[in-house]
A and B are shown apart, each in its own frame.
Chain A
Amino acid sequence: MLNRRTFLATSAASLILPVAARAADWPAIEAEARGQTVYFNAWAGSDTINAYIAWAAGEAKARHGITVEHVKITDTAEVVKRVRDEVAAGKQDGSVDLVWINGENFRTMKTEKLLFGPFSESLPNYALVDVAGKPTTRQDFAESVDGLEAPWGMAQLTFFADGAKVAQPPRSMADLIVFAKEHPGRVTYPAPPDFHGTTFLKQVLLETAPDVAQLAKAADGMAITPAWQAMLDDLHPHLWREGKQFPKSQADITNMVADGELLIGLTFNPNEPANLVAAGTMPATTIAWQHAKGTIGNTHFVAIPVNAKARAAAQVFANFLLSPEAQARKNDIKVWGDPTVLAVEKLPAELQAAFTGSAAPGSVSLPGPTLLEPHASWVPLLEKDWLSRYGKG
């Protein structure tokens, strides 16, 4: 497992790189961007996130004369497919200018050369990114970013529950099984290929793998470990609907936790439980935690397709999303609560103040270290094995 310190050494050198690569002609890009329309394709299932994007679009209009249209999508894979089809059909003025992306979808677009760039490290605000403390800003699911996407926010698998019902939160998968046995039918996870469902399976993989270092490499020729299968076999009979049906999404699970149908929810945004308390969906007694030995963490990004029409404006908007002001607002639990990718301690004091929120009810009280994502090539293996073992009802 990589920790922050070992990464510091490797990244210190690379900190110089963005400065060198920074576009000397940024004013020219800004001038070109004026008047362009950015079609920003972003998952739109959350109205708090949609409201934040609407705010950012308004600011981009006022400050840079850019129109940002939020193209509301359900699944980023649709966008990958659309760009691929357009490029194959020779469409130069593509329908996507900017896409919210990470992990598998990024890897697909990168390997198929569907991305414009490198551009992200030449954005002026990239210098503020905490590349040393947050290595996932440069390694997206063990895939090198190479300037093809600009970091936007941080995520770490986090669990939550009503503290009035769950006094002792399970802080490992093994403990979760014990908990499920004590509360049959009140725990579950979304079925893969849902993003959160896949992450849950990867977390099980990390907690059962004999050699974690192996998971950072491509899974070519590797097989899923029997320990992974054994742990799921142990867990499933005690899940909601005895592990024969699964909720479709993390959002459904959150509803079911709020209703009391389930006891434990999961999210990739450590601040979401606090956000849910602020919104009145979860009670003030809500607690949030991560596993004691760590949970999977990653960074989410924005990328520009190779056939984007408004490349200049897309870069200017990506740069705005990285600005301390936009990042601080995003970080605010009352707005969205998405953790920043910036190195806050390196910002001027007056800007730092915007990031310091007091611990709100529902904030993570039992944090764990960040574990790096297994290489994206493990996902198809996990999903296939899962489907053939548990997908038949």
Chain B
Amino acid sequence: MRVLAALPLVLVFLLPLAASLLFVLPDAVNAGALRELVAHPQFSGALRLSLFTGLASTALSLLAALAITFAAGGRNLAGRAGVFLAVPHLSLAIGLAFLIMPTGVVARLFALLAGWNAPPQWVTTQDPWGFSLIVALVLKETPFLVWAFASLLNRDDLRRQFEGQQAVARSLGHGPASTFLRILLPQLLPRAAGPLIAVLAYGLTVVDMALVIGPTQPPVLAQLVWTDINDADPAVSARGGAGVVVLGLVVALVVAASALAAVMFKKVRQRFYGAAPRPGRGMPRGLAALWPAFLAIYAAAVLIMIVQSLSGHWPFPQRLPDVVTWKAWSHLAADPAPLLTSLALALASAAAALAACVAWLEWTPARADRVLAPAAVLVLCLPALLLALGEYRLFLALGVTGSAAALFLAHLLPVTAYVFLLLAGPYRAFDPRWQATAHGLRARRLPFLLRIKWPMLKAPLLSAAAIGFAVSVVQFVPAQLAAAGRFATLPMEAVTLSSGGNRALIATYGLALMALPLAGFLLASRLSRPRWSTP
């Protein structure tokens, strides 16, 4: 049974992952291409920019998430943060760009007040320092970290432990801030290492957001590599392959350096933890406003996308468009194939990943996770480009590019990684006494699972499925390569249309891209309400 239960994940996850990595190996040892890459006039600038935007966005997101978690004072933010998670990176970048670009909403408001006739020469989107990219990343990653912290704080086993410790700390005279920093923080951060590394890796290697809002001369390293990979010239394409490997190395080095820094600062931290208790004043007022501020920016970004999607000609500095039209939406309705393909892929991959992960977690011993968990973390931390390139070559060698199976597998890989990482914690932490009790009552395994265990784990199961669904919907790079033009999905369509610059269409597809995961999250949160709670 154990082997049988482990088989699905081995077949659809571990094997393709290993094979994909194997297929990128030739790039790692292509010294000529590597030299070409280093000689690229934009290489050093792009690398600097990637390090800056990746590190700054991660640090700021972490600070903001901790501040928000602290300000929540024990309230469970997981549900609310879930809604933010549903907003794809690409959609947020599009909405944010509509807000801050020199012909955006903010500029129009200023124009109204100052009486401008021509758009200002603001350096907002595409600023050479990458500030707007950092803002976009912080907006997107902070809720993810808030959600990760909230999930940890509310995990059954941890919650009891933390509550006890906090009570002790209070009795020793620690104020709320002191308790948070000295008791919760040191226990939270190591447990949140996975999400933090994922945020860092994403910030260092993001392509789609950078394409919309990032600098161009030089661009971030991932964007440079993406352009190279797609070049028709084999030498340039090989340079891109080398770039993918370098990108992976950059992530590995930065993560290793961060871990090292955490160890080196141990002494400093210990001195801090051992300091005398501070009763502390109340919470700084600004902190409480942080979470609503995020909400407001998201709402504004979505609102402007809705307005843009309905607008025809909209000359500057008019506050409202000249023409309101459904043209962009009817475009989406006229060709629903990409929407339906994305929906089917997301449903199928989320369901398959959930089933495979539950099988693994239920029937294999916990120590088996020691193989799978690092593999899943690897998928999240490796640049999407690297895995996608390996997958593409694997499919090519198998002769399955452009098949539905290849497209499905390309979606399944990242979905499985997320579902597994989200589910493993709560599933393994399930109180074994329930099973012992059921066993004592002579209940067989399956009825126990169906009636007791899975219903009790309903919330984590559903939220893992919802996130898996969302992850599937936004896959662009691997899907594009695996589909070989035989299938179109929503993000492919969105990116293709965005090359034509039709803002109404871009906004419409940005919204459609957001609608699917959002629906998934709402459904999951509705279903995961305990049956016995009052509505």
- What is the interface of chain A, defined by CB distance below 8 A to chain B? 39, 41, 43-47, 71-82, 84-86, 89, 91, 95-96, 104-105, 108, 185, 191, 193, 240-241, 244-246, 248-249, 251-252, 254-256, 258-261, 280-281, 380, 384, 387-388, 390-393
Contact of A280 among B42, B312, B396, B492 (CB under 8 A): B312
Interface 1/0 per residue, B104-116 and A, CB below 8 Å = 0000000000000
A89 near B42 with CB under 8 A, answer no
Name which residue of chain A comes closest to B234, CB basis. A84
Contact of B486 among A95, A249, A388 (CB under 8 A): A95
- Contact residues in A for B316 (Cβ distance below 8 Å): 259-261
> Quick one: which of A245, A249, A254 has the most chain B CB within 10 A?
A245
A-B contact pairs, 14 of them (CB 8 A): A41-B485, A44-B497, A71-B486, A72-B488, A72-B493, A77-B230, A185-B121, A241-B126, A245-B126, A245-B128, A246-B217, A384-B41, A387-B40, A391-B218
Interface 1/0 per residue, B96-134 and A, CB below 8 Å = 000000110000000000000111010100111000000
- Given A72-B488, A81-B230, A89-B396, A255 contacting B323 (CB threshold 8 A): no
- Contact residues in A for B331 (Cβ distance below 8 Å): 47
- Contact residues in A for B232 (Cβ distance below 8 Å): 76-77, 80-81, 104-105, 108
- Contact residues in B for A104 (Cβ distance below 8 Å): 232
B495 near A74 with CB under 8 A, answer yes
Closest Cβ of chain B: how far from A220's Cβ, in Å?
A: 16
**A255 vs B119: C-alpha distance when bound (angstroms):** 12
B284 at the interface (CB under 8 A from A): no
Contact of A191 among B217, B315, B401 (CB under 8 A): B217
Q: Top 6 closest A-B pairs, CB basis?
A: A251-B501, A45-B500, A71-B485, A45-B499, A388-B41, A77-B232
- Contact residues in B for A256 (Cβ distance below 8 Å): 103
Closest Cβ of chain A: how far from B116's Cβ, in Å?
A: 10
- Residues of B479-519 whose CB lies within 8 A of A: 484-486, 488, 492-493, 495-503, 505
B45 at the interface (CB under 8 A from A): yes
- Contact residues in B for A384 (Cβ distance below 8 Å): 41
A45 near B501 with CB under 8 A, answer yes
- Contact residues in B for A108 (Cβ distance below 8 Å): 232-233
**A73 vs B483: C-alpha distance when bound (angstroms):** 12
**A393 vs B49: C-alpha distance when bound (angstroms):** 11
Contact of B492 among A72, A81, A390 (CB under 8 A): A72
B485 near A39 with CB under 8 A, answer yes
- Residues of B209-235 whose CB lies within 8 A of A: 211, 215-218, 227, 230-234
Closest Cβ of chain B: how far from A9's Cβ, in Å?
A: 35
Name which residue of chain B comes closest to A185, CB basis. B121
Q: How large is the interface on B (under 10, 10 to 19, 20 to 34, 35 or more residues)?
A: 35 or more
A193 near B227 with CB under 8 A, answer yes
- Given A191-B217, A392-B41, A77 contacting B231 (CB threshold 8 A): yes
B217 near A249 with CB under 8 A, answer no
- Contact residues in A for B118 (Cβ distance below 8 Å): 260-261
**A255 vs B397: C-alpha distance when bound (angstroms):** 42
**A73 vs B481: C-alpha distance when bound (angstroms):** 11
- Contact residues in A for B128 (Cβ distance below 8 Å): 244-245, 393
- Residues of B305-330 whose CB lies within 8 A of A: 312-313, 315-316, 322-323
Interface of B is mostly: loop
Closest Cβ of chain A: how far from B119's Cβ, in Å?
A: 4
- Contact residues in B for A380 (Cβ distance below 8 Å): 233
**A330 vs B337: C-alpha distance when bound (angstroms):** 26
Closest Cβ of chain B: how far from A70's Cβ, in Å?
A: 9
B402 at the interface (CB under 8 A from A): yes
Closest Cβ of chain B: how far from A71's Cβ, in Å?
A: 4
- Contact residues in B for A85 (Cβ distance below 8 Å): 396
Contact of A95 among B126, B323, B401 (CB under 8 A): B401
Closest Cβ of chain A: how far from B311's Cβ, in Å?
A: 11
- Contact residues in B for A91 (Cβ distance below 8 Å): 396, 399, 401
Closest Cβ of chain A: how far from B357's Cβ, in Å?
A: 32
- Contact residues in B for A80 (Cβ distance below 8 Å): 232
- Contact residues in A for B41 (Cβ distance below 8 Å): 384, 387-388, 391-392
B237 at the interface (CB under 8 A from A): yes
Interface 1/0 per residue, B451-485 and A, CB below 8 Å = 00000000000000000000000000000000011
- Contact residues in A for B312 (Cβ distance below 8 Å): 280
- Contact residues in B for A244 (Cβ distance below 8 Å): 128, 217
A393 near B499 with CB under 8 A, answer no
- Given A47-B331, A96-B485, A390-B217, A73 contacting B496 (CB threshold 8 A): yes
**A388 vs B502: C-alpha distance when bound (angstroms):** 32
- Contact residues in B for A391 (Cβ distance below 8 Å): 41-42, 217-218
- Contact residues in A for B233 (Cβ distance below 8 Å): 108, 380
A258 near B315 with CB under 8 A, answer yes
Closest Cβ of chain A: how far from B333's Cβ, in Å?
A: 14
> Quick one: which of B45, B215, B312, B396 has the most chain A CB within 10 A?
B396
A252 near B216 with CB under 8 A, answer no
- Contact residues in A for B237 (Cβ distance below 8 Å): 81
Name which residue of chain B comes closest to A281, CB basis. B313
Closest Cβ of chain B: how far from A269's Cβ, in Å?
A: 13
If A91-B399, A245-B123, A387-B40 are given as contacts, then 6 extra A-B residue pairs at C-beta distance below 8 Å, sorted by A number, are: A45-B496, A95-B485, A104-B232, A255-B503, A392-B41, A392-B217
A280 near B501 with CB under 8 A, answer no
**A73 vs B215: C-alpha distance when bound (angstroms):** 23
- Contact residues in A for B397 (Cβ distance below 8 Å): 89
- Contact residues in A for B126 (Cβ distance below 8 Å): 241, 245
**A260 vs B484: C-alpha distance when bound (angstroms):** 39
Name which residue of chain A comes closest to B331, CB basis. A47
- Contact residues in A for B216 (Cβ distance below 8 Å): 191, 245-246, 248
Name which residue of chain A comes closest to B215, CB basis. A245
B499 near A249 with CB under 8 A, answer yes
**A391 vs B323: C-alpha distance when bound (angstroms):** 39
A44 near B402 with CB under 8 A, answer no
Closest Cβ of chain A: how far from B233's Cβ, in Å?
A: 7
**A82 vs B402: C-alpha distance when bound (angstroms):** 11
A259 near B103 with CB under 8 A, answer yes
A75 near B42 with CB under 8 A, answer no
Contact of A254 among B215, B488, B501 (CB under 8 A): B501
Contact of B501 among A44, A75, A77, A249 (CB under 8 A): A249
Name which residue of chain A comes closest to B485, CB basis. A71
Name which residue of chain A comes closest to B121, CB basis. A185
- Given A91-B399, A248-B216, A393 contacting B45 (CB threshold 8 A): yes
**A280 vs B505: C-alpha distance when bound (angstroms):** 15
**A245 vs B323: C-alpha distance when bound (angstroms):** 32
A89 near B399 with CB under 8 A, answer yes
- Contact residues in B for A71 (Cβ distance below 8 Å): 485-486, 488
- Contact residues in A for B103 (Cβ distance below 8 Å): 256, 259-261
